[in-house]
Amino acid sequence: MPQDTDDILREVTSKEYAYGFTTNIESEKAPKGLNADIVRFISAKKNEPEWMLEWRLEAFRIWEKMEEPQWAHVHYPKIDYQNAYYYSAPKKKPQLNSLDEADPELIETFNKLGISLEEQKRLVGVAVDVVFDSVSVKTTFRETLKEKGIIFCSFSDAVQEHPELVKKYLGSVVPRTDNFFAALNSAVFSDGSFCYIPPGVRCPMELSTYFRINEAMTGQFERTLLIADEGAYVSYLEGCTAPIRDEHQLHAAVVELVALKDAEIKYSTVQNWYPGDKDGKGGIYNFVTKRGLCLGDRSKISWTQVETGSAITWKYPSCVLKGDFSTGEFYSVAVTNNRQQADTGTKMTHIGKGTKSTIVSKGISAGFSNNSYRGLVKIGRGAKGARNFSQCDSLLLGDRCGAHTFPYIESENPSAMVEHEATTSKIGEDQIFYLNQRGIETEKAVSLIVNGYCKEVLNQLPMEFAVEAQKLLAVSLEGSVG
């Protein structure tokens, strides 16, 4: 690994942001601004049934009454929600049977991203549902999954083909009233992924979605809904890159996970959206609501995230542990450099008996960035024998960055055990010295130490993601050491 890291560091020295390019595909846009008609436009565009439109409109009415949250430890100019486009889709093309028929420019984009569908199919064996500016372009492995009874499709398709499942679970974990950004998403969500694993089925491959924001001035509003029925297992990967843009781009996604009795969901994210340039110009605003509901007894939801991108991250993948003896996990590495700001963490709400949660959060700040961990562990009155362990460490590289910890710990049950610990420190000078003395240059030494520091989290990632994540860490911190 060290050899790799070094190569990567050298490789990227001259680069600003490898994935900074835009694709010119004629896109169909809704007019700027947000009102009930835009919501109707989006719904009509997607041929949605009446109930879906009603659901969106209600969300819009709720959103109108809400105020943008101010409590996070991030600063950004006020967003004018009326000065953005809420819908953009690649123009409808005739149905394709193979990739060859697809727009060559599109294929080119995927190639630059390094997620060539062909290669993915052949080498990794991962089914990829590519979300390209809000509309699913191509879904692979669908047939293979179908045999097992697994539904893995775009959200729009799910609305058409499996309305009963969507109706039952949509908004059941993140209700429209949950928060400002969730309400906004509920009103205007463009597309996303839908996944249902039937009872007792173990999903044979890692499911994956690549998101990509392409259209300038387009807010991207994905909606992901993942349901693991009784005794099912699924591991889901989400990875993101986005091109350079000067205008700030808003991204407000909602991810809902439902785990029924004895089911297990593992949700991994590598987020590498455009963080803005050195002076904080541009970059994505990432305001995401992710929540998993352990509905059934002995169910388990595990979040793993590696966050290196975005100008602003506002994200709290959470678990509601409702079923008795259910388990929630949160493993996170958040890296901020230059002018990036991240306010991220988790919420573990213990409701059921014997529920268990683990939180491991590693924050790394460099440059002029600010990195905050914000978490809530709540043990309800009925959560007899609940158990939580949290560990939040922060590493500081440079004297102009900030690292903050805001944990909320609430216990209302005397039989519960809650432990929280946090440390903040500088990268060890003696460790760097030691590595220097062994002939390892400083930048590489830092990379080594950082990788070791994050190991606990990186180990949770599926193999192919772990490699990518390690690369990302090195790239993100490039230039941060004296």
Partner 1 sequence: MSTETITDLKGSVLPLLEGSTWPGASEALQQVRSLPVPTTRTEAWKYTRVSKLFNGTYAAPEGDAAFALPDRLPFDATRIVFVNGHFREDLSDDLRTEKHVVIDSLQQHLSHGPVRNHYGHITPLSERLFSAMNAAAPTDGLLLLVFRNTTVRKPIHVLRITTEGGQLVQPRDLFLIQEGANAEVIEEHVSTALDVTTSLVNSLRECYVAEGAELLVHKLQRDGAAHISQENVQVDAKGRFSISTTTLEGSLVRNDLNVSLAGPGAHAELNGIYLLNGTTHCDNHTYIGHHVPDCTSDELYKGIVSDRATGVFNGKVYVKQDAQRTRAYQSNANILQGDHAKVYSKPELEIYADDVKCSHGCTIGRLDEKALFYLRSRGVSEVEARQLLAHAFTTDVLERIKNTDWEEYLTGLIDQKLDTL
Q: What backbone phi and psi angles, to 5 degrees, belong to 142?
A: -65, -40
β-bridge mates for residue 288, sequence order: 315
Residue closer to partner 1, measured from CB, 220 or 371: 371
Query: Are 198 and 232 spatial neighbours (Cβ–Cβ below 8 Å)?
Result: yes
Q: At its nearest, how many Å lie between partner 1 and the CB of residue 415?
A: 6
Q: How far is Cα 151 from Cα 166, in angstroms, rounded to an integer?
A: 12
Could you tell me how far CA 42 lies from the centroid of its own chain? 24
Nearer to partner 1, 111 or 415 (CB): 415
3-state secondary structure of 418: strand
Three-class secondary structure assignment of 178-198: CCHHHHHHHHHCCECEEEEEC
Least CB distance from residue 444 to partner 1, whole Å? 20
Name the residue nearer to partner 1 (CB basis): 25 or 376.
Answer: 376
User: Any idea what the Cα angle at residue 137 is, between residues 268 and 284, rounded to 5°?
Assistant: 55
Task: Identify which of residues 231 and 380 has a Cβ nearer to partner 1 in the complex.
Answer: 380
Kindly state the smallest distance separating residue 382's Cβ from partner 1, in Å: 10
Our CB check for partner 1 shows the closer of 198 and 398 to be 398
The distance of closest approach from Cβ of residue 12 to partner 1 in the complex, given in angstroms and rounded to an integer, is 24
Minimum distance from residue 449 beta carbon to partner 1 (Å): 14
Q: Are strands 135-139 and 127-132 parallel, antiparallel or unpaired?
A: antiparallel
Contacting positions for partner 1 (CB under 8 A): 71, 379, 381, 394, 396-426
Assigned token pair, 410: 């609430």
Paired strand residues for 238: 209, 269
Cβ proximity to partner 1: between 138 and 404 the closer is: 404
Measured from the CB atom, is 283 or 363 closer to partner 1?
A: 363
**Alpha-carbon distance 313 to 286, whole Å?**
5
Distance CA 480, CA 383 (A): 44
Q: Which is nearer to partner 1, 50 or 429 (CB)?
A: 429
- Write a three-state SS string for 274-333: CCCCCCCCCCEEEEEEEEEEECCCCCEEEEEEEECCCCEEEECCEEEECCCCCEEEEEEE
Q: Closest approach of Cβ 169 to partner 1, in Å?
A: 31
Shortest distance, position 34 Cβ to partner 1, whole Å:
27
**Cβ atoms 335, 473 nearer than 8 A:** yes
Q: For partner 1, which is the closer residue by CB, 108 or 421?
A: 421
Helix (H, G, I), strand (E, B) or coil at 71: coil
Query: Can you give the C-alpha Rg of the chain in angstroms?
Result: 22
* Cβ neighbourhood burial of 76 (10 Å; 0-12, 13-18, 19+): middle
In single-letter form, the type of residue at position 45 comes to K
Q: Please say which residue, 22 or 425, places its beta carbon nearer to partner 1.
A: 425
- Please, what is the minimum distance in Å from the beta carbon of residue 470 to partner 1? 23
- Residue 412 CB, shortest distance to partner 1, in Å, is 5
- In whole angstroms, the minimum distance from the beta carbon of 418 to partner 1 comes to 4
The tokens describing 202, both together, are: 């173990």
Using DSSP's 3-state secondary structure scheme, residue 342 falls into: strand
